[in-house]
Structure formats: structure tokens, C-alpha cells
């Protein structure tokens, strides 16, 4: 039986992970569950899955959870703080770590799991966007097992020959084709995008996701971040990764080989599929997902992405090609701008403006350590906060 720690248990990926684990209680036990502040949701998960540890980053929320746990009679140790996230991934009874903390906050606990030599189910793309080569070097150094959970990267992983992944470039692969749904605003003219609300941006046509990643999908920044992630996961270059808009979200990604073959992974848009793949690999587990009915789908469409209406994708592709600290700046500026949009302090179309400004204003830094990554992230967030305030003022 394998022990599993779920980082970000109350988010959409965490909830789906627990749904899969709940179907296979004979194979997996839940060692630890973590969240930022939602003590009510985490307590309900503790009642159902009985982890050994529960972690809330915010101390006040952890105190509330501890009170609920004590009153219920559960024997669960409640911890608080970001350091506790790293502690629970290192536990000897933990074999697998679902890394589903959103954004840059997920880097250090995910890296701790890598350094502990765990199987890391990577749903936190920012770890590779920010740390890139440093992260992959640590995977190799500590003998960790890295399985991507993003639906696109998991599809590529499944279509790769043996040995593809964890930064290894397999022989015979010509291109990686990452599919994108196009989000809720596919086909919209730029002028119409000026009035987009957070509720509209979070209403994804195919996937149920958290608010931040839903906005990233709406701007297509998410797909640009995925290009950077794929570059490191599969040991390739941005030039050999192509984004393909596929509105049905049935073909999750494709791998083109030198002999002309193209392998694709298909399935209903349900994150339980890649999660079950990561938990069971190389075996296949029942994920509780409805079988794919090609007859009801009828047709599969593929389009070239509209870089003019969705400049965030263009900015991310440029950052991927530039390398260095450009992806760190890109990610930090985007997180700040997206949060401002969700709080209705910034127009939707200004997200790209903020990111572009910060990419041009933050100086290039040598990224030779995780400390340098975090310092660059800090500087970029400061610049993004200033750019966001300026953009909001112009829009007022």
C-alpha cells in the first residue's frame, strides 16, 4: 500500500485526487492533506480520508481546524505554516506527493518532495516554469520520479516512448503538439474582450478548474506556461512545441515522430484520468470517468491560435525562447495581474499589458540557485504591483 500526501487538497485537483484515492483504498492510504486557509473543507476531507497529518498555511485557520479535529475525536496532527508543507512531503510513510498548490507558492514544497526522492505527481506547472533546469537537475540528483498531471503533459507522457519525461529527450520525436481549448473567448474580437468580467473568464466551456487557472486559460497564458513546462519535462526546445487550438478538449495532446507517425491521447475532459495515470503508472486504474463516445462527439476540430486577440500566449512563447529569468518574470507578473483582475481592480485586456511591461522593466539576472529564482520572483512581483496600479489608474 502506497502512502500519498496531497498538497492543495481543497482545490479542484486535490478534490479529484481524493475521489480517485477513495476508489482504491486497498492500494493507497492518505498520509497528509494540506490547504492554505479553508479549514471547513479540509476538515470534511479529514473526516472522510483520516490522514495522519493536516496542514493549513494560515495559523488562525489551523487553530480552527485543530479545534474541530479535537471535538470530533479524530487522531490527526494539525500543523501550520509553509514549512509544514515541506515536512509532510518528507515523511517516510509518504511514497507519492500530489503537488497541486497553485502558483509560485508550490515551488518549495514540490522541490522538497523531489529532494526526498518521492514520486511527484506534478500539477504545479510553476515549479518548472520558474526553476526549469535547476528543478530537473534535482529530480535526477535525488532519484525522484516525476509524472506530469496537467492533462496536456500527461497526454504527451503517455504518447512518449519508454524513458520520455523527467527532462529526458527520447530519440525519434520530432514535435510535441499541445492542444488548447481556446477558453471561453475563442473567436471573440479584441474590442469585445474589453468588457470581460471575472465570472465570464472563470466559466470554462469544458473543464472545471480553479479561478486563477481559469483566467489563465481565458487569456491563453496557461498554454504558454505549459510550453515552458513541456520544454523541461521532455528535454526539448520551444521551437519543437506547437500549440493547437482544439475546442472539443478530447485530444489532450499529440507527439509527432520522425517516421511521420503522430500519437495522440484522447479522453473525456476529466482530470481524474491523468491523476489515475500518475497514481497507478505503469498500471491503469479505474478513474471513475465516463467512457469516450466518439459517435456523440461527431467531429474534432483544430485551429491555429489567435496571437493577436490573446497576446499572453505570444508573450509566454517569447519568454520560453529567451530563457534565463524571463519565465520567472512572466509567471510572477501574470499572478499579480490575474489576482488584480479577479478582484476587479484591473481590466481583462490589461493583464497582457502588465506582463509585457514587467518583462521589459525587470533586469536580467543569473539564475544559478533556487534563492536566485525566489529573488527574481520577488522583484518581478514588486514591479507588477506598480504596473498593475498604473494600468488600473489609466482604465478608471
Q: Which helix (H) or strand (E) holds 5?
A: strand 2-7
* pLDDT of 193: 87
pLDDT digits (tens, 9 = 90+) for 211-245: 998 999 999 999 999 999 999 999 999 999 999 99
Cα separation, 164 vs 235, whole angstroms? 9
Average pLDDT, the chain: 94
pLDDT digits (tens, 9 = 90+) for 261-270: 999 999 999 9
* pLDDT of 366: 83
pLDDT digits (tens, 9 = 90+) for 305-355: 999 889 999 999 999 999 999 999 999 999 999 999 999 999 999 999 999
Instruction: Write down the pTM of the prediction.
Output: 0.93
* pLDDT of 183: 86
Whether 152 shows a pLDDT value over 70: the answer reads yes
Cβ neighbourhood burial of 330 (10 Å; 0-12, 13-18, 19+): buried
Output 156-164 pairs: Cβ under 8 A, ≥24 positions apart: 156/230, 156/233, 156/234, 156/253, 156/254, 156/255, 156/265, 157/233, 157/277, 158/265, 158/277, 159/253, 159/254, 159/255, 159/263, 159/264, 159/265, 160/234, 160/255, 164/234
C-alpha cell at 45: 476531507
Cα 218 to Cα 205, 279, 396, distances in angstroms = 10, 29, 23
Coil, strand or helix at 10: coil
- Per-residue pLDDT band for 163 (boundaries 50, 70, 90) equals low
Mean pLDDT of 252-261: 97
- Residue 238's nearest CA partner among 146, 132, 355, 373 is 132
Coil, strand or helix at 179: strand
* pLDDT of 337: 97
φ, ψ for residue 190 (rounded to 5)? -60, -40
* pLDDT of 275: 98
* pLDDT of 396: 62
Cα separation, 22 vs 78, whole angstroms? 22
- Per-residue pLDDT band for 204 (boundaries 50, 70, 90) equals confident
* Sequence-ordered strand ranges (E) for 159-287: 173-180, 241-245, 251-257, 262-266
C-alpha cell at 314: 505570444
pLDDT digits (tens, 9 = 90+) for 363-374: 888 899 999 999
What percentage of the chain exceeds 70 in pLDDT? 98
DSSP state of 116: T
* pLDDT of 165: 67
- Per-residue pLDDT band for 110 (boundaries 50, 70, 90) equals very high
Cα separation, 380 vs 378, whole angstroms? 5
Termini Cα distance of the chain? 57
* pLDDT of 365: 82
pLDDT digits (tens, 9 = 90+) for 77-100: 999 999 999 999 999 999 999 999
Domains contained in the chain, CATH given: 2-149 (3.40.50.720), 150-312 (no CATH), 324-396 (1.10.1740.10)
What percentage of the chain exceeds 90 in pLDDT? 87
8 A C-beta contact, residue 165 and residue 128: no
Amino acid at each position: 500500500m502506497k502512502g500519498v500526501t496531497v498538497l492543495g487538497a481543497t482545490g479542484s485537483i486535490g478534490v479529484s485526487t481524493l475521489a480517485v484515492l477513495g476508489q482504491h483504498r486497498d492500494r493507497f492510504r492518505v498520509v497528509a492533506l494540506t490547504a492554505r486557509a479553508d479549514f471547513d473543507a479540509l476538515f470534511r476531507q479529514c473526516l472522510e480520508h483520516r490522514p495522519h497529518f493536516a496542514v493549513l498555511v494560515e495559523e488562525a485557520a489551523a487553530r480552527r481546524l485543530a479545534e474541530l479535529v479535537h471535538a470530533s475525536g479524530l487522531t490527526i496532527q494539525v500543523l501550520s505554516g509553509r514549512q509544514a508543507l515541506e515536512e509532510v512531503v518528507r515523511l517516510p510513510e509518504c511514497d507519492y506527493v500530489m503537488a497541486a498548490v497553485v502558483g509560485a507558492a508550490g515551488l518549495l514544497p514540490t522541490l522538497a518532495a523531489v529532494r526526498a526522492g518521492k514520486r511527484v505527481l506534478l500539477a504545479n506547472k510553476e515549479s518548472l516554469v520558474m526553476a526549469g533546469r535547476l528543478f530537473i537537475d534535482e529530480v535526477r540528483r535525488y532519484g525522484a520520479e516525476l509524472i506530469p498531471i496537467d492533462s496536456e503533459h500527461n497526454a504527451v507522457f503517455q504518447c512518449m516512448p519508454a524513458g520520455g519525461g523527467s527532462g529526458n529527450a527520447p530519440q525519434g520525436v520530432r514535435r510535441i503538439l499541445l492542444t488548447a481549448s481556446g477558453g471561453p473567448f475563442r473567436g471573440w474580437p479584441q474590442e469585445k474582450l474589453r468588457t470581460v468580467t471575472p465570472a465570464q473568464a472563470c466559466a470554462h466551456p469544458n473543464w472545471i478548474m480553479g479561478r486563477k487557472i481559469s483566467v489563465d486559460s481565458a487569456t491563453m497564458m496557461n498554454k504558454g506556461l505549459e510550453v515552458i513546462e513541456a520544454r523541461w519535462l521532455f528535454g526539448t526546445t520551444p521551437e519543437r512545441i506547437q500549440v493547437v487550438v482544439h475546442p472539443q478538449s478530447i485530444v489532450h495532446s499529440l507527439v509527432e515522430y520522425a517516421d511521420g507517425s503522430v500519437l495522440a491521447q484522447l479522453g473525456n475532459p476529466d482530470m481524474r484520468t491523468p491523476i489515475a495515470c500518475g497514481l497507478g503508472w505503469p498500471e491503469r486504474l479505474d478513474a471513475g470517468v465516463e467512457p469516450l463516445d466518439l459517435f456523440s462527439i461527431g467531429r474534432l476540430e483544430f485551429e491555429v491560435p489567435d496571437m493577436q486577440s490573446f497576446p499572453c500566449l505570444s508573450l509566454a512563447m517569447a519568454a520560453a525562447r529567451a530563457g534565463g529569468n524571463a519565465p520567472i518574470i512572466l509567471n510572477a507578473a501574470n499572478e499579480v495581474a490575474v489576482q488584480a483582475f479577479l478582484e476587479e481592480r484591473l481590466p481583462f485586456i490589461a493583464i497582457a499589458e502588465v506582463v509585457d511591461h514587467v518583462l521589459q522593466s525587470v533586469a536580467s539576472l543569473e539564475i544559478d540557485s533556487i534563492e536566485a529564482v525566489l529573488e527574481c520572483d520577488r522583484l518581478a512581483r514588486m514591479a507588477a504591483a506598480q504596473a498593475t496600479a498604473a494600468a488600473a489608474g489609466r482604465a478608471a
